[in-house]
Amino acid sequence: MDVIITPTAEEASLVAARHFEVEIRQNPAAVLGLATGSTPLRLYRALIDARLDWARIRTFNLDEYLGLGPGHLQSYHHFMWENLFNHVNIRRENVSIPDGLAQNVSASCSAYEGAIRAAGGIDVQLLGIGSDGHIGFNEPSSSLASRTRIKTLTEKTRRDNARFFGSIEEVPMHVITMGIGTILDARKVVLLATGEGKADAVAGAVEGPLMAMNPASALQMHRRAVLVLDEAAASRLRHADYYRWVDANRPEWQRV
Ligand code: GLP
């Protein structure tokens, strides 16, 4: 794991955005895995401002609430168009987000996996992290080999996400999410975490045991996982000084 610690959330977002900017410039037909939540907002703004060419870029989003159509203000479809896609020249047919209105959920999930495979796999996957360590909507106890499927949200996640809805009762119980196995198949993973609320989950993911109870710890098995953290999210890492040392002494060719 490559752990990068920046003084502020703003800088962390810009460092993570840079990984995507470089990818898009080097590979104009890249396949990107994208995430929602409040954390990636600044990153998306930076990508919009970079005025990149998205004409051949394809994207796959991590997850969607079951029961919410694309027109619902809290759907991840709406989030993505509002915060990124409407502001870049991506083609609608190159955007994939799990279908929150799928009638046959298993078939829809298999088709999603098939579409990722047909696209040649994901080049760079963006992740946030839940306060319980979830990535996508893979809640604690998710199989580390899981594929795209239905999941039931924990009470904690529904409480965390209630701020976007009127009340916790309005937060859907079920979601479709890429599995941890799906995420690990991406050729590179960039996880962005900011704020103290993520510090325990981050410490568990980086320095704790590999375990289904902290889904993000599965990234320990990934060959190219970059974790970009602000000081607050990094505050419970025991080896933070080492990660800073590594970053400060990175060979020129390894810098992004
Ligand atoms: C949701 C999303 C995750 C995201 C998490 C954290 O549960 N499914 O992909 O990482 O929220 O959200 P935030 O960035 O708002 O803290």
The structure tokens listed for 52 are 């990149």
CA R_g for the chain = 17
pLDDT digits (tens, 9 = 90+) for 46-66: 999 999 999 999 999 999 999
Q: Does the active-site annotation cover 247?
A: no
Tell me which H or E stretch contains 245.
helix 240-248
Q: Residue 22's CB: how many other CB atoms inside 10 A?
A: 12
Rounded to whole angstroms, the Cα distance separating 109 from 129 reads 22
Which of 36, 61, 178 for a ligand 1 pocket mutation test, highest count of atoms within 8 Å of Cβ? 36
Q: 225 φ, ψ to 5°? A: -105, 125
pLDDT digits (tens, 9 = 90+) for 84-100: 999 999 999 999 999 99
The structure tokens listed for 132 are 């319980």
List residues near ligand 1 (CB under 6 A). 35-39, 62-63, 128-130, 136-137, 157, 161
Question: Residue 225: which residues within 8 A CB-CB, separation 6 or more?
Answer: 1, 2, 188, 189, 191, 219
Ligand 1 mean position to 161 CA, how many Å?
8
pLDDT of residue 232: 98
pLDDT digits (tens, 9 = 90+) for 238-254: 999 999 999 999 998 98
Catalytic one of 123, 139, 160, 230? 139
Percentage of residues in the chain having pLDDT higher than 90: 97
pLDDT band at 255 (very low <50, low <70, confident <90, very high): confident
Catalytic one of 19, 77, 134, 222? 134
Q: Does the active-site annotation cover 139?
A: yes
DSSP 3-state of 143: coil
pLDDT digits (tens, 9 = 90+) for 150-202: 999 999 999 989 999 999 999 999 999 999 999 999 999 999 999 999 999 99
Contact 168, 159 (CB under 8 A): yes
Q: Does the active-site annotation cover 87?
A: no
pLDDT digits (tens, 9 = 90+) for 8-52: 999 999 999 999 999 999 999 999 999 999 999 999 999 999 999
Q: 36 φ, ψ to 5°? A: -120, -165
Q: Supply the residue whose CA is at minimum distance from atom 12 of ligand 1.
A: 37
pLDDT of residue 254: 86
